[in-house]
Amino acid sequence: MQTIGIALLGVGTVGSAVARTLQEKGDELARQTGLQLVVRWGMARHPERVIAAGLPEQAATTSLDPILEDPNVVVIVEALGGEEPAATYMKRALQAGKHVVTANKEALSKHFAELVAVAREQQRALLFEASVGAGIPLMASLRQLLSVNRVERIRGIVNGTTNFILTLMAEEGVPYHDALREAQRLGYAEPDPTADVEGLDAAYKLSILASLAAGRHLHPDRIDRRGITSVTPDQILDARTRGGAVKLIAEALRKDEEWELRVHPIFVPGSDLLAHVRLNLNAIELTCDRVGTVVLYGPGAGPAPTAAALLADVIDAVRFGPALLPEVEVAR
C-alpha cells in the first residue's frame, strides 16, 4: 500500500466534499487502487473551514508555502475557483514538483497553454476532468477519441444552471427572475449569477474542450457569446408550440484548420436529443471523422460528482504522471 499525501487549495463546497469523500470511502479506494490518499493540508482564508471539513487543526493553513515545502505532498487539488490567485498557485505548485488536479474552468481556460507547458517542463500531471461536466467522464472520453479521431464538432449543454432556468420557464411558465431565484434557493446558481446567465461559464468550458480538440489554446475571449437574460416568455412558448425548446448551446465547429466558437440560446427542434435535456443535467456531442457522433450525458455540477472526478484525477496523476498531458500549442 502506497500512501499519497494531498493538499486542498480551498475548503469550500468542493474542497470539503473531497475531504468528506475520503473520510467515507478512503479505505475502499485504498483497497481498489493500492493508494492510501491522505489529506495533509487544507488551505483556506478561514482555518475553521478546514476543521469543519473534518480535517485536523494542524492541517489548516492560510498560506501555500508550507504545502509546497512539504515533501510528502504529492498531489495538489485546486478548488479555489476564479482566475486568480488560482492560476498562479497552480503554476507554483507545478514548478515545485507537485501534480495538480483542478475543477477550475476559468483559470484553466484563460491559462491553458501556459499551465500545460509548465507541467510538461516539470514532468508533472495536470488533470482537469472535473472542469467540464463534473462527474461525466468527458476528458477521458475526448482523450481516447483524439488518439485516433479528428474532432470536427463539439456541441452541447454544458451549464446546468441555465438549463434548469430554461426548463422551469418552459414547463411551468415561470418568469425568468422567478426561475433564477429558485435555482439560487436550490444551490444551482450563485448569489451573483452573472457567470452562468451571461454564458461565461459555458464559454470557459467550451474553450477547454475546443483547445483539446484543436491542439492549441483557444482563449474564451474569442468565443461569440450571448447569455439567457434576453430570452423572453414568448420565445419559450413559441419553441414549445413548435415541438422544441430554447437551450443555451455551446458549439465549436472546425472549418479547415480554424474553429468557429459560439455560446448562444437557440431554438432546438424536438427531433434533436438536446431539446430533451432537462433541469440541471448536461449533454455533450462529440462529432468525429471515424466514429461519428458520441454523446455524453449526466450531472454536470454538484459537490459529490465534482469531488469524485477530482479524486479519480488524483489517482490518475499518481499512476500516469505527465503521460496524460495534452499536446497544446500557443494560440495563433
Based on the residue annotation, tell me whether 205 is a catalytic residue of this protein: yes
List the catalytic residue out of 91, 110, 205, 247.
205
Amino acid identity of residue 115, one-letter, is L
Amino acid identity of residue 92, one-letter, is R
The three three-digit cell numbers of residue 195, written as one number: 457567470
Instruction: Give backbone dihedrals phi and psi of 116, rounded to 5 degrees, phi first.
Output: -65, -40
Contact 164, 150 (CB under 8 A): no
> Residue 200's closest CA among 230, 234, 177, 223?
223
DSSP letters of 170-236? HHH---HHHHHHHHHHTTSS-SS-HHHHTTHHHHHHHHHHHHHHHTB---GGGSEE--STT--HHHH
Instruction: Give backbone dihedrals phi and psi of 11, rounded to 5 degrees, phi first.
Output: -125, 45
Instruction: Give backbone dihedrals phi and psi of 264, rounded to 5 degrees, phi first.
Output: -140, 150
Burial of 106 (0-12, 13-18, 19+ CB in 10 A): buried
For helices 13-33 and 303-320, angle between their N-to-C axes, nearest 10 degrees = 50
Give the β-pairing of 292-299 and 281-288.
Answer: antiparallel
Q: What is the dihedral of CA 142, 143, 149, 152, to 10 degrees?
A: 40
Which residues does 201 contact at the CB level (< 8 Å), separation at least 6? 105, 158, 159, 161, 195
The residues carrying an active-site annotation are 205
